[in-house]
DNA sequence: AACCGTTGCCAACACCTGTTGGCAAACATG
DNA sequence: CATGTTTGCCAACAGGTGTTGGCAACGGTT
């Protein structure tokens, strides 16, 4: 190991690591877990397949590194309660349009148990935590978060994966206008009897 | 070919064909398109893998036969307009709980272009047609159908694929109570400005 | 200079994939 | 009985998969 600083010293291979990660995200997003081969990812990164193994241990390890995802949810307590739905839809759409990590995770979660587990963790932890900032009943909170996840993931699934024409052609603003009231009710609506 | 009736004569291999189809649906639903191997399907059906090829031509042909799916949507004109959402959610939940074909299609659509195309067709044709029975503007009709599909597929995705705990634990009746108003608004609500 | 850890590539392993052709038994028909 | 078709299995092919070990070139340190 380098004698001076241990962690702050940038390694020469960091560029390679980053190139692999970028290619991996692209391939996982485009093809899903099983069809995205290590050889193809390595070719995209212009590197030997064995390097992927050395730096990430295995295909699962590579995916784990490539599919790290933070929803980056804003602090919901500083949002006017009546606009929660609108803020959330807009945030998610913006968060996804420029980052293919979520698409990769979504595609992989359909067939790869580990990816599904990770997706469960993301929405159970991050989204439930954000929803829990208001409301006290944990069961109801979890249910609200689940319902929000169902509409949000359904939006992503139909727009980015299946590419249903009406969901692809509609502008983000129009989608927000339609879907915001749904999330608003899931978040703050009174539970049905 | 048999000299007598051409199509009505039941062939001796029909049982085998059906066994293959049943095993294929199970495997495709459980593992997705790429991880469901012909060898595994044949083993489940207790026959030789080559038989699958003879009867269905290829893996894609087998999937095409196994993933034939009819939403069986009821005639929406005979439903009280105010209860459209409730009827639809209840119908979809009931339609899926006992038939794994939709789950197979859902899993496969994430990674297989052909499956995605089929899913597009199902929701574009069957659902849009049902929605089109009321309302005349074709663009608006398509958009309403797309929005309904996004919530419906999001429900299926979170409940049957990712298995988000709150979406799995909630009873169908409670899900209907929460989600019906959403579909109701997507179907009959006035479009946002 | 000599030394040693790092970075990279090549070749290969063991395994699994969809798919094919041939051959034997079962069956139906003349 | 003889004939042709159907049903089934076995063995194999050609290609792709994740993964591994060894070996050459580079880089900084002493």
d(CA A128, CA B87): 29
Res B9: pLDDT: 64
Residues of chain B falling short of pLDDT 50: 1-6
Sequence-distant (≥ 6) Cβ neighbours of residue A26 within 8 angstroms: A44, A100
CB A144 within 8 A of CB A191: no
Indicate the pTM of the whole model.
0.93
Give the residue-averaged pLDDT of A11-28: 93
Give the residue-averaged pLDDT of A31-53: 97
Q: Which residues in B139-166 are b (16+ Cβ under 10 Å) and which e?
A: eebbbbbbbbbbbbbbbbbbbbbbebbb
Res A142: pLDDT: 96
Whole-number average pLDDT of chain A: 93
> In chain A, what is the greatest distance between 2 CA atoms, to the nearest angstrom?
66
Residue of higher predicted confidence among A9 and A132: A132
Which residue is listed with tokens 């005979």? B78
pLDDT tens sequence across A99-126: 999 999 999 999 999 999 999 999 888 9
Cβ distance of A166 and B178 shorter than 8 Å: no
Task: Find the closest chain B residue to A161 by CA distance.
Answer: B110
d(CA A93, CA A97): 6
pLDDT tens sequence across A73-88: 999 999 999 999 999 9
Sequence-distant (≥ 6) Cβ neighbours of residue B44 within 8 angstroms: B23, B26, B27
CB A85 within 8 A of CB A54: no
Res A136: pLDDT: 84
> Measuring CA to CA, which residue among B7, B63, B8, B5 is closest to residue B33?
B63
Res B8: pLDDT: 56
Give the residue-averaged pLDDT of A168-178: 98
Cβ-Cβ contacts under 8 Å, A120 against chain B = 162-165
Res B136: pLDDT: 85
Give the residue-averaged pLDDT of A132-147: 92
Sequence-distant (≥ 6) Cβ neighbours of residue B29 within 8 angstroms: B100, B101, B103, B104, B107
Res A193: pLDDT: 78
Q: A–B: how many Cβ contacts below 8 A?
A: 154
For the four alpha carbons of A87, A93, A94 and A95, in that order, the dihedral sign comes to positive
d(CA B14, CA B25): 17
Res B13: pLDDT: 77
Res A134: pLDDT: 79
Which nucleotide shows the minimum CA-to-C1' distance to residue A38?
A: D18
Which residue is listed with tokens 């209860």? B83
Task: Tell me the Cα Rg of chain A.
Answer: 19
Burial of B6 (0-12, 13-18, 19+ CB in 10 A): exposed
Tokens standing for B20? 């293959």
Res A2 pLDDT > 50: no
Footprint of strand C on the protein (CB under 7 A): A 1, 11-13, 16, 46-51, 54; B 2-4, 12, 36-40, 49-50, 52-53, 58-60
Task: Find the closest chain A residue to B28 by CA distance.
Answer: A111
């Amino acid at each position: 190991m380098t004698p001076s600083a241990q962690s702050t010293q940038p390694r020469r291979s960091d560029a390679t690591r980053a190139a692999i990660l970028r290619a991996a995200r692209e391939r996982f997003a485009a093809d899903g877990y099983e069809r995205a081969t290590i050889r193809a990812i390595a070719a995209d990164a212009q590197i030997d397949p064995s390097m992927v193994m050395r730096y990430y241990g295995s295909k699962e390890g590579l995916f784990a590194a490539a599919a790290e995802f933070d929803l980056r949810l804003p602090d919901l307590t500083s949002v006017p309660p009546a606009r929660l739905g609108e803020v959330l839809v807009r945030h998610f759409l913006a968060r996804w349009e420029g980052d293919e990590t979520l698409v990769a995770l979504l595609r992989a979660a359909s067939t790869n148990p580990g990816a599904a587990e990770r997706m469960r963790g993301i929405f159970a932890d991050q989204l439930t935590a954000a929803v829990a900032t208001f409301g006290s009943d944990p069961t109801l909170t979890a249910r609200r978060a689940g319902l929000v996840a169902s509409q949000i993931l359904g939006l992503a699934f139909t727009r980015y994966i299946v590419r249903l024409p009406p969901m692809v052609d509609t502008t983000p603003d129009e989608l927000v206008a339609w879907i915001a009231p749904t999330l608003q009710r899931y978040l703050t609506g009174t539970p049905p009897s």
